[in-house]
Amino acid sequence: MNELNKTAFEENVAEENEKFRTEAATFTKSGTRKWVYAKKPSGKFTNYRTIVTTILLVLLVVIPFIKLPNGNPLFKFDVFNTNFILFGYPFFTTDFFLLAFGMIISVVFVILFTSVYGRLFCGWVCPQTIFLEGVFRRIEFLIEGDRNKQIRLDKQDWNEEKILKRGGKWFVFYIISFLATNILFSYIIGMDVLIQMYKDGPAEHGGKFFGMFIFSWLFYFVFAWFREQVCTLVCPYGRLQGVLLDKKTMQVSYDYLRGEGTNGRSKFRKNEDRKALGKGDCIDCGQCIAVCPTAIDIRNGSQLECVNCTACMDACDEIMTKINLPTGLIKYASEENIAEGKPFRINGRSIVFSIILVLMISAMGIFMSKRSDVEIKFLQVPGKDYVVDGDYITNTMQYSLMNKTNKTYKLIVNVTEFKGGKTVLLVEPNKYIEINEGELKQGLIDIKIPKSELKSYKVPVILELKDLNGKTIDHYTISFMAPF
């Protein structure tokens, strides 16, 4: 090859290698969708992911049927009635602080986890990846065959074979989507309500059945057509990589020093001493691209489309084994590990995030342990002043009780402490307040204190809430108003 041709060749290679920076792998320049025909992966990491996927799918189906001793399901996210249950622990709108604090902890965890391990979540436990790669793609392989057969089927005319395979695949896809929608709805309305809904029929639950029908088609659309576009166009997690990942972050990486050598990658030739010729171990077979569910070339480095699914690792290891070269050309490694040969170490940023995360989780545990089963508030009735009744001063308080359990309480209000004197009277001292599970109950209660006992125009009085068995539920301090 003369110098002119060599220069032109190198420029073409450089241009080809830089395309990933200006073009999306799943779109043409005109914006037309490029359908991804991912090759069926196999290997050690694929087997590990299959185990994880199976466990997660089994848990997804089984968890709605689990009832804890307190009668609550393990998880429930009833957005319609603002009733949330996490690990059997109920949350209501009055627990917004705890929910918000929990979300902050989740964000810190995501930052910590991503900065250390990259997008391990995306490749191993993300619901999008679990359903697409673990369910829908496997069905596609079973019905239409592997990558080459899918491409050939797509190009051929609509004959009997294509109609049966495509029609059968789409039918199975919708059945899976409908079943998955039922499972997801059970996390919202509860499995008991879902079963009763089917017993009663669509006539009595038309709105719920209609919502389930719409959501099942949305689910079908995402996994039958939209697919990897969720990761590349919709999900914000990939775009966070730019600020969360650094050269110490572990992620699926191509060992370019070994793969490129001194004279670059080249096709494999039998009985060739590649090391003596300065050629890298990468034989440019393209298998890492063929198995990629987002159609990227991992050899171009870290990209937002990469979900760290390890398919390219298995594909590359298989080729390296066949040509008697060491495996691990594509592996879990940091940029620092590849460029400088340094072993993986937890950096200072990760340690700080870990300390913050532990402190926040500890604080969350303290807040939850101090939360009472029934939240109590006593407030002065707006616009209503104290009342002078002979030798007594009467205050009317408005109570607000929120039952955060799944059982009914019968509660009595007592006065436990009055620092200004000794005598405090409740107009109805032995009347109990009945409050059902998850109920918010409001009412009025009158408190009387002799004038002679009052030393200030605002006197603190501590009220105690007990059940009929004498168990203390909560305390609340009010300010009793009196003449100045």
Biggest alpha carbon–alpha carbon distance for the chain: 115
Closest CA to 360 of 156, 106, 175, 129: 106
Residue 313 structure tokens: 């690792």
Closest CA to 294 of 122, 170, 43: 122
Q: Does residue 320 contact residue 254 with C-beta atoms inside 8 Å?
A: no
Query: pLDDT tens digits, residue range 216-264?
Result: 999 999 999 999 999 888 888 877 777 788 888 889 999 999 998 888 8
Query: pLDDT tens digits, residue range 59-117?
Result: 999 999 998 887 788 898 888 777 788 888 787 777 778 878 888 888 888 888 888 88
Segments making up each domain of the chain, as ranges:
374-481
Find which of 83-97, 308-322, 372-386, 455-469 is predicted with most confidence, using mean pLDDT: 308-322
| SS3 of residue 67 by DSSP | strand
Q: Is the pLDDT of residue 273 over 90?
A: no
| SS3 of residue 3 by DSSP | helix
Q: How confident is the model at residue 171 (pLDDT cuts 50, 70, 90)?
A: very high
The CATH number corresponding to 374-481 among 3.40.50.720, 1.10.3720.10, 3.40.50.300, 2.60.40.10 equals 2.60.40.10
pLDDT at 21: 66
User: Could you tell me which residues are beta bridge partners of residue 395?
Assistant: 447
How far is residue 444 from each of residues 19, 169, 385, 395, measured CA to CA in Å? 72, 63, 14, 10
| SS3 of residue 325 by DSSP | coil
How far is residue 139 from each of residues 38, 149, 220, 231, 288, measured CA to CA in Å? 13, 14, 13, 21, 22
pLDDT at 5: 46
* Residue 173 vs residue 10, higher pLDDT: 173
Q: How confident is the model at residue 194 (pLDDT cuts 50, 70, 90)?
A: very high
Q: In this predicted structure, which of 21-25, 301-305, 479-483 has the lowest mean pLDDT?
A: 21-25
pTM: 0.81
Q: How confident is the model at residue 429 (pLDDT cuts 50, 70, 90)?
A: low
pLDDT at 196: 92
Residue 396 structure tokens: 């009317």
pLDDT at 366: 87
pLDDT at 6: 45
